[in-house]
């Protein structure tokens, strides 16, 4: 089901989401809407390709991911846009990390078993 919203000026906003399953070589899209495909670039590094084009790169991005962490002292997992140039009107490259232990072990790139991402922005 597609989610659209028209603001007072008539611009249409679109909500795109994907539940991405990663880890163990079984990388694929789960439940999704507005996503044509995903591209795996290696551990915790992937691109979400949209089937609809946003009007600009000012769309919002949010996520939640599972923790495969077995170290109780380690910080939470999370995802970020890899770099500013990786946020395009028709795709977004994302990288997932696990947190540091706070005792000298820095966090690193990881593959979360599931990552749910949402993107909200105006259509072109």
Mind listing the pLDDT tens digit for each residue in 63-84? 887 766 666 666 677 778 888 8
pTM, entire model: 0.81
The predicted structure's pLDDT at residue 37: 92
Strands 3-6 and 12-21, sheet pairing:
antiparallel
CB-based contacts of 87, cutoff 8 Å, min separation 6 = 57, 59, 61, 81, 93
The predicted structure's pLDDT at residue 74: 66
- DSSP state for residue 86 in the 8-state scheme: G
């Amino acid at each position: 089901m597609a989610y659209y919203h028209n603001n007072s000026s008539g611009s249409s906003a679109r909500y795109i989401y994907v539940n991405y399953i990663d880890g163990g070589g079984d990388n694929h899209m789960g439940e999704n809407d507005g996503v044509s495909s995903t591209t795996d670039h290696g551990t915790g590094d992937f691109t979400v390709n949209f089937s609809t084009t946003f009007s600009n790169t000012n769309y919002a991005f949010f996520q939640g991911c599972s923790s495969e962490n077995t170290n109780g002292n380690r910080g939470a997992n999370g995802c970020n846009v890899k770099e500013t140039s990786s946020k395009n009107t028709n795709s977004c490259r994302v990288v997932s990390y696990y947190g540091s232990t706070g005792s000298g072990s820095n966090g690193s790139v990881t593959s979360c078993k599931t990552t749910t991402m949402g993107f909200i922005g105006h259509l072109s």
